[in-house]
């Protein structure tokens, strides 16, 4: 592990050469960046020329302990959640852009990977700035509010446990239907019997999505001579 100059950021960098891809991993509420190290290390073995950056939540967890948070969940409701997320986004957007600039990696080669509250931030960041990253991998997350438009420059991959009692999988299913209606490029994988966690089955599926899913925008570019040809549909699966 190569430490960042910022003590609140963990980094895994390529053993040799410059990084060609960037993964920014955002942890859940009350947790720390260390909790996502196993996921980062797994992905690093698959993408050895990628940089993995794990920031700590920008605020101390107001539930106590040493954990961090991106926004407060004290008294959170469906009504006030969007405003809390919106208030947290500017700092995250700045962090992502500064990290891309520092490592010399463009937005298209960047992936935002979130768990729970981190997924909420990742999804909402793209809803605000389409193309901030080429992909989002959102584990056990949801939208604070469903977007009015689907991103055109970012592919969204949603992963959820079918038995998640913290953020029910119904939110993910609602999101994939909504994005599909907006002609978005999004997939959903649900692991039946799995709760609120980054389960190995979902991690394996994330790897499949990263290596085999061709973004819709690339299909559309390749099929430019045949305008109107539909891109392959790969919206969702239950596993």
- CA pair distance 96, 111, nearest whole angstrom: 10
Long-range pairs for 210-214: beta carbons < 8 A, 24 or more residues apart: 210/46, 210/47, 210/111, 210/135, 210/137, 210/157, 211/46, 213/155, 213/157, 213/187
Q: Could you give the CA distance from residue 88 to residue 47 in angstroms, rounded to a whole number? A: 30
Q: Show Cβ contacts of residue 205 under 8 Å, excluding neighbours closer than 6 positions.
A: 159, 189, 191, 237, 239
Q: Which residues are catalytic?
A: 116, 164, 196
118 token code pair: 């981190």
Q: Which DSSP letter does residue 163 get?
A: T
């Amino acid at each position: 592990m190569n430490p960042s100059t910022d003590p609140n950021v963990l980094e895994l960098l390529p053993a040799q050469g410059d990084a060609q891809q960037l993964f920014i991993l955002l942890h859940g509420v009350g947790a720390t960046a260390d909790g996502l190290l196993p996921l980062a290390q797994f992905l690093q073995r698959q993408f050895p020329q990628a940089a993995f950056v794990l920031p700590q939540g920008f605020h101390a967890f107001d539930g106590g302990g040493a954990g961090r948070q991106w926004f407060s969940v004290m008294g959170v409701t469906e009504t006030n959640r969007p405003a809390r997320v919106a208030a947290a986004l500017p700092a995250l957007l700045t962090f992502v852009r500064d990290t891309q600039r520092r490592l010399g990696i463009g937005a298209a080669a960047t992936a935002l990977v979130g768990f729970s509250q981190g997924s909420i931030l990742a999804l909402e960041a793209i809803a605000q700035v389409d193309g901030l990253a080429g992909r989002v991998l959102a584990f056990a997350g949801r939208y604070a509010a469903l977007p009015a438009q689907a991103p055109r420059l970012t592919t969204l991959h949603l992963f959820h446990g079918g038995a998640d009692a913290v953020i029910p999988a119904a939110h993910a299913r609602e999101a994939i239907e909504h994005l599909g209606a907006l002609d978005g490029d999004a997939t959903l994988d649900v692991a039946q019997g799995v709760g609120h966690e980054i389960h190995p089955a979902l991690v394996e599926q994330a790897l499949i999505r990263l290596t085999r899913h061709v973004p819709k925008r690339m299909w559309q570019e390749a099929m430019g001579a045949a305008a109107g040809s539909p891109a392959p549909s790969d919206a969702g699966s239950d596993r």
